[in-house]
Amino acid sequence: MKKIVMVISTALLLVFQVRADGPFRPGDKASDFSLKSVKGEMVSLADMENARGFIVVFTSNVCPVAKKYEQRVIDLHSVFSAKGYPVVAINSNDPEANPGDSFEAMKKVASEKGYAFTYLRDESQDVAKSYGATNTPHVYVLSKKGENLKVEYVGAIDNNSDDATKANKTYVADAVNSLLKGESVTVPSTKAIGCSIKWKN
Amino acid sequence: MRSGKILISVSIFLVFFIGLEASGQKIEYIKVPDLEKILNNKENKLLVVNFWATWCAPCVKELPAFEKVAGEYNESKVRFIMLSLDFPSQIESQLKPFLKKNNLTLDVSVMMDTDYNSWIDKVDPQWQGNIPSTLIVNHEKKTRYFHSGEIDEPELRALINKFL
């Protein structure tokens, strides 16, 4: 009997693990993580108790597209963190492929640019893999109900990486604004040209 | 006096013209309808489209492989298009100097429509927008193959031979 219970619970655990794994699409349940921030502490989404959701941004210090979007990420945080949707930036790139994405380089960029948002190192690349992030920048807007995280939007920040002033679709801001009004997200996923995440061999 | 002026203008024009020719690079500026035309064109050639940008290091790294492999096939059999996704604001400052410096002989097109979400799926629904990526289309056999990520010389040659 004990054995059967164990087998069943292991099977259930496996099923739930598979379900909590990516690539995450809108509507999926998202998983939390624990990653080291540039301030040196381990951070989980659960730690941010007052948040109503999160703007998770997979990014890079050196990817030219991510650099184009850096100011827009800073702006998203300054607009939406007070409303309960802080930016949580994650760098998953292999520092051997991109030395400019090392933890030290992340600390330097965060302090030089005065990042007010949490900037995390995904050393094992497990978070990028479980979310299904492929590019930088690659955004996941999550909403939080109790302890549950739900994927509300996946994709680009807006529709003009070259020039923010020429973007006429501000996907992430629109998604968060809809959620803040209690509405569903009109455009729940988009694609954009970006640098591929540099995976470890 | 007047003919002297004309002569000077003509020579300036010629120098300018020859200068352009000497850099050897034909750039085509395209938008979504042009991309659709390229992808749906029914010509009897294998189409190889490489999506790249000067700012993408792994893309730049694989350009010589494309140059080399392209040289091995008759232009009437295989058409290569190096589709640059450089930022429109950096065509003069980055792309053109890059092409000049590296003497690329392959046709380069530049995508001027930066509303990527409107056309990425037309290339391939599986594509997440990461570059480099390469699309191979054989219109005659109605076969299509999308390669996400880097590609090396033997792999590119093998794919072309497979779909030719």
| CATH assignment of the domain containing B85 | 3.40.30.10
**Burial bucket for residue A154 (CB in 10 Å: 0-12, 13-18, 19+):** buried
Task: Tell me whether residue A17 is in a domain.
Answer: no
- Counted across chains A and B, CB pairs separated by less than 8 A come out at 64
Domain count, chain A: 1
Res. B42 pLDDT band, cuts 50 70 90: confident
Q: Which residues of A touch B51 (CB under 8 A)?
A: 193
pLDDT tens string A42-66: 999 999 999 999 999 999 999 999 9
Task: Tell me whether residue A44 is in a domain.
Answer: yes
Residue A59 parent element (H or E): strand A53-59
Please state the separation of Cα B153 from the chain's center in Å: 17
The pLDDT assigned to B21 comes to: 39
Give the range of the structural domain holding residue B152, as residue numbers without chain letter: 25-163
Q: Looking at the predicted structure, is the pLDDT value of residue A81 above 70? A: yes
Task: Tell me whether residue B97 is in a domain.
Answer: yes
Q: Is the ipTM of this complex over 0.85?
A: no
Tell which phi-psi region holds residue B106, choosing left (phi > 0), alpha (psi between -120 and 50) or beta: beta
Q: Which residues of B touch A194 (CB under 8 A)?
A: 129-131
pTM: 0.85
Res. B3 pLDDT band, cuts 50 70 90: low
Of B89, B121, B127, the CB nearest to A162: B89
Q: Any idea what the CATH number is for the domain that residue A135 is in? A: 3.40.30.10
Nearest CA in chain A to B51: A193
Task: Tell me whether residue A10 is in a domain.
Answer: no
Domain count, chain B: 1
C-alpha neighbours within 13 Å on the C-beta side of residue A139: 31
Task: Tell me whether residue A131 is in a domain.
Answer: yes
Give the range of the structural domain holding residue A58, as residue numbers without chain letter: 22-196
Q: Which residues of A touch B128 (CB under 8 A)?
A: 134-135, 191
Best to test chain A binding among B89, B92, B94, B114 (most A CBs inside 10 Å) = B114
User: In angstroms, what CA-CA distances link A87 with A2, A58, B50, B92, B134?
Assistant: 45, 10, 34, 34, 33
Task: Tell me whether residue B106 is in a domain.
Answer: yes
Percent of chain A with pLDDT over 70: 89
**B80, β-bridge pairs:** B48
pLDDT tens string A149-162: 999 999 999 999 99
Region B39-55 average pLDDT: 93
Task: Tell me whether residue B107 is in a domain.
Answer: yes
Q: Please say whether the beta carbons of A89 and A115 come within 8 A.
A: yes
